[in-house]
Homo-oligomer: A and B are copies of this chain.
Amino acid sequence: MSTELPLKIALFGSGRIGQVHARNILANPDLELAVIADPFIEGAQALAAGTGARAVATVDEAFAIGDLDAIIIGSPTNTHVDLISRAAAHGVAALCEKPIDLDIERVRSCRDSIRDSKSPLMLGFNRRFDPNFASVQARVQAGEIGRLEQLTIISRDPVPAPASYIANSGGIFRDQSIHDLDMARFFVPEIIEVSATGSNLFCDYIEEAGDFDSVVINLRGARGEQITIINSRHSAFGHDQRLEAFGSDGMLSAGNLTPTSVRKYTAAGAEEADPYLHFFLERYAEAYRRELDSFVQSIRTGTSCSPGFEDGLQALVLANAAEESARSGRVVKVGQE
């Protein structure tokens, strides 16, 4: 085991995603969870109990701890830009949940403000670390199916987020599809065209919010690759998270996950698997651990993080283009900034 001192971590946010990170930090002997910050101080306190971490209500208190090596940003979206900037100013590494911000101009100005920072900055597109998707991507990169021609990403949440969440989500493209748009860029970094359609099929309050509950996005890569993303805000059979990479020499797919390998055979049907893992906390548990490992590795070796800030920006550019296309009925061209 490591002879170095553990990295000292400040965690921002004690909600669902903060709890995931807290558990993974605590289970990693190379990390010390020094402080948990949340204006909802009871949440921070509950999460910190028995861990040795200090619970604080403000960002200032968190940074006042001193000697921080990294922060992990799991607080609401509108706090991200500020925390990223502060991390850069303090020379502290940061792992920030997506999106950087819903307003692309704020993202761009944040980019400008941290341009000279040398601190590692990772964007929390955790699905890049899912062992299944990562394996497909690595094997495609290794040429196992020749040239990549068509990529199909199916991504459906089990149930719609509540109306209050939807209202501040930035819409399905910026909130849900953005993960899949980043996944598209994981395989095909340079996207040149976006088209999309949206429908309201099952959720009244999403429709009332002016948002879609079901969308399809088509992307074109710089070499003509065709990428299709199919999203829905619900799925009766659990978190539907699959992709297929089709190339000149074959195809690689990554399917959904079941809790066990058990199959059932009766007069009603054969080979019935367990219901799929319900949602991202179960489905991407391993991805969150590997993401954290990668972040630590970058800090320890002084290499840049991947995915990084630019990936966060580009995914937002694509989400905005998809929204524009779905509203206008036209293909939208995008370029690297």
Q: Is the CB of B251 within 8 A of A261?
A: no
Chain B residues contacting A145 (CB-CB under 8 Å) are: 236, 266
Q: A150-B214, A202-B149, A256-B261 are in contact. Are A270 and B237 (CB under 8 A)?
A: yes
With contacts A131-B260, A200-B224, A202-B147 taken as known, whether A266 is within 8 angstroms of B236 at the C-beta atoms is yes
Q: How many copies of this chain does the complex contain?
A: 4
What bracket does the count of chain A residues touching chain B fall in?
35 or more
* Cross-chain contact B267 with A275 (CB below 8 angstroms): yes
Taking each of A139, A270, A273, which has the highest tally of chain B beta carbons within 10 Å of its own beta carbon? A270
Q: How far is the CB of A225 from chain B (nearest CB, A)?
A: 7
Set of chain B residues within 8 Å of A232, measured between Cβ atoms: 149-150, 246
Mask, A139-152, CB within 8 Å of B = 1, is 10000111101101
State whether A264 touches B251 (Cβ < 8 A).
Answer: yes
Q: Inside 8 A of A150's CB, which chain B residues have their CB?
A: 214, 216, 230, 232
CB of A106 closer than 8 Å to a CB of B: no
Among B50, B247, B256, B262, the residue within 8 A (CB) of A1 is B50
| A311 at the binding interface (Cβ < 8 Å) | no
- Cα-based distance from A257 to B224 in the complex (angstroms): 30
A210 at the B interface (CB under 8 A): no
How far is A240 from B201 in the complex, measured between Cα atoms in Å? 29
Q: Which of A227-281 contact B (CB under 8 A)?
A: 228, 230, 232, 234-238, 240, 246-276
Q: In the complex the two chains form, what is the Cα distance from A265 to B242 in whole Å?
A: 14
Q: Tell me if B252 and A263 are in contact (CB < 8 A).
A: yes
Q: Is A218 in the interface zone, CB < 8 Å from B?
A: yes
How far is the CB of A214 from the nearest CB of chain B, in Å? 6
What residues of B have a CB within 8 angstroms of the CB of A269 in the complex? 264, 272-275
Q: Which residues of B contact A189 (CB under 8 A)?
A: none
Q: Is A27 an interface residue (CB 8 A)?
A: yes
Q: Which of B139, B201, B220, B246 contacts A149 (CB 8 A)?
A: B201
B149–A152 touching, CB < 8 Å: no
With a cutoff of 8 Å between Cβ atoms, the chain B residues found around residue A264 in the complex are: 139, 144, 250-252, 269
Is A108 close to B, CB under 8 A?
Answer: no
When A and B form their complex, which 8 residue pairs have the shortest distance between CB atoms, in order from nearest?
A329-B331, A250-B266, A272-B272, A237-B265, A199-B224, A269-B272, A251-B265, A255-B261
